[in-house]
Amino acid sequence: MSFSAVDIAPRAPEAAAALRPDRHTALALAAAALVMGLGQTTLFTFLPLLMAHTGLSLARITAAFAIGSGLFLIGAPLWSRLSDFLGRRSVVAIALGGFALSHALLLWQMGQGADWQGQGAMLMLGRVIYGLTVSGLVPTCQAWLADLSSAEQRLGVLSRLSASLTLGRLLGPALAACSLWLDPLGPLWLMALAAWPALLLLPFTRQAARQGKAAVRERLGWQGMAAWLALAGLMQLALGQVQYALGPLLGSRFGLSASAASATLGWLLTACALVVLVLQLWLVPRCRAGRPLLLAGGLALLASGVLLALPGPLSLIWIGFLLLGVAAALLVPTYTTLASLAVGGAGQARVAGVLAAAHTVGFSLAAALAGWLFGLWPAAPFWLAGLAGLAVIVLACLLRLPARAD
């Protein structure tokens, strides 16, 4: 299979200068990504509240959330394609509206009491709304920024968008804990209201031109996309393997209690997110998207898997987990940028959508494999993460880069 990519015609300096997201647009899209990050981590803080107020079992709740997440496989490519016709702003508004509506329904549901017979159906309805609407948020934001940026600016703007998502994940648990001091349902109020600031900023954004039928007519070179989809799947496979298996490993290898293992994992996740945030805000935007960043990310991923798999002190776990953050910070914006450059102007939304779907597939595969592999051999998920890093290095050596990234 060929990994060649479509060349990009160079832009004139004045055209490149004109293609720059203005401050209002960058702020609105950063706020939208931050909302998405808040939702991803705050979710875990109100699971006990949800069980107590609805009377639903953890299995029924997690099943509903899993179905909502699975709908991202449908929603991300679909909304990305529709944004070519409806416009990026409209799709981002729909996604933020779906975020607000799904959490408002959840808040209303929790006020109905555990005896209400519609608890299960209402929870499922809210998660279906979430999955079918919010799935379009991040890929459409990526496509919008790609529309408004030149090839030279692309890595920087996409890296800052990823940093906003990471910041939201960092702030989510802290804001949820603070909101509990104000109201027992504080985390739900936080989620129901979080999307409104970003929604109110949207009218002040600079709208990207609609692609319309041009996006359908353009040949996107999907054979050349295979490498970028493989990189996206491998990164999320490795990330999921480590995240799902590290808690049990801390307990079995170091004899930590469940609460101690959870606390240690929480600190590891926080430190890792800080590493990602710092690198994506200050280092990655100063680099050029290309083979060196892919190789560095692959090496970090390989080293992370090996260090986590090998027996040793807890400090080895810390180093390995922080290297996982380095790998994510380098790889995700780099392969997203290179895929964006590879397909040309009219394919931005569609490539963002399929990359989001590849992320979902990789992380879902990790969820399916991690427990089984850990049961066979506790180090197996981490060796698989290391093999994913090795595969990234091989791909980085074999693929041909878009012309503007050479």
Domains of the chain and any CATH numbers: 22-205 (1.20.1250.20), 220-405 (1.20.1250.20)
pTM of the model: 0.79
End-to-end Cα separation, the chain, in angstroms: 21
Contact, 206 vs 21, CB < 8 A? Answer: yes
Which token pair is 241?
């393997």
Q: Tens-of-pLDDT digits for all 406 residues of the chain?
A: 333 333 333 344 444 444 566 788 999 999 999 999 888 877 766 777 788 888 888 778 878 887 888 898 899 889 988 988 899 999 999 999 999 999 999 999 988 888 898 999 999 999 999 999 999 999 999 889 988 888 888 888 899 999 998 898 888 877 877 887 888 888 889 889 999 999 999 999 988 666 555 444 444 455 567 888 999 999 999 998 998 899 889 989 999 887 788 778 878 888 898 999 999 999 999 998 899 999 999 999 999 999 999 999 999 999 999 999 999 999 999 999 998 888 766 677 778 888 988 998 888 888 788 888 998 999 999 999 999 999 999 999 998 887 655 4
Nearest to 145 by CA among 165, 125, 128, 129: 165
Which token pair is 50?
């949800």
Maximum C-alpha span of the chain: 66
Which token pair is 102?
């799904």
Which token pair is 148?
């408004």
Which token pair is 373?
């592999």
